[in-house]
Amino acid sequence: MLQLWTSARYTFPLPLGHRFPIAKYERLREQIVISGIGSAGSLHEPEPATRAALLRVHTPDYVDRFVDGRLGESELRRLGFPWSTALVERSLRSVGGTCEAATAALENGVAMNLAGGTHHAFADHGEGFCVFNDVAVAIRLLQNTGRVCRVAIIDLDVHQGNGTNAIFAGDESVFTFSMHGGRNYPFQKVPGSLDVELADGTRDDDYLSQLADHLPAVLSRAEPDLVVYLAGADPHESDTLGRLSVSFDGLARRDALVLELCREVGLPVAITIAGGYGRNLEDTIQIHLETARIASRYASPIGVPRP
Ligand SMILES: [Zn+2]
Distance 26 CA to ligand 1 centre (A): 19
DSSP class of residue 91? H
- Checking if the pLDDT of 43 tops 90, the result is yes
Give this prediction's pTM.
Answer: 0.97
Distance 118 CA to ligand 1 centre (A): 9
Distance 99 CA to ligand 1 centre (A): 20
Distance 242 CA to ligand 1 centre (A): 7
Distance 175 CA to ligand 1 centre (A): 19
- Checking if the pLDDT of 307 tops 90, the result is no
Distances (CA, A) of 180 to 112, 114, 201: 22, 21, 12
- Checking if the pLDDT of 305 tops 90, the result is no
Residue 114 confidence class, pLDDT cut points 50, 70, 90: very high
Of 193, 195, 57, 52, the C-alpha closest to 125 is: 57
Q: pLDDT of 119-157, one tens digit each?
A: 999 999 999 999 999 999 999 999 999 999 999 999 999
| Rg from Cα positions in the chain | 17
Residue 306 confidence class, pLDDT cut points 50, 70, 90: low
C-alpha span between 275 and 158 (Å, rounded): 8
**Residue 214 near residue 154, CB atoms below 8 Å:** no
Distance 22 CA to ligand 1 centre (A): 14
Distances (CA, A) of 142 to 52, 137, 273, 297: 14, 9, 20, 24
- Please, what is the average pLDDT of the chain? 97
Q: pLDDT of 148-187, one tens digit each?
A: 999 999 999 999 999 999 999 999 999 999 999 999 999 9
Q: pLDDT of 20-41, one tens digit each?
A: 999 999 999 999 999 999 999 9
Distance 274 CA to ligand 1 centre (A): 6
The pLDDT value given to residue 303: 77
C-alpha span between 253 and 217 (Å, rounded): 19
Q: pLDDT of 263-286, one tens digit each?
A: 999 999 999 999 999 999 999 999
DSSP class of residue 212? H
Distance 145 CA to ligand 1 centre (A): 30
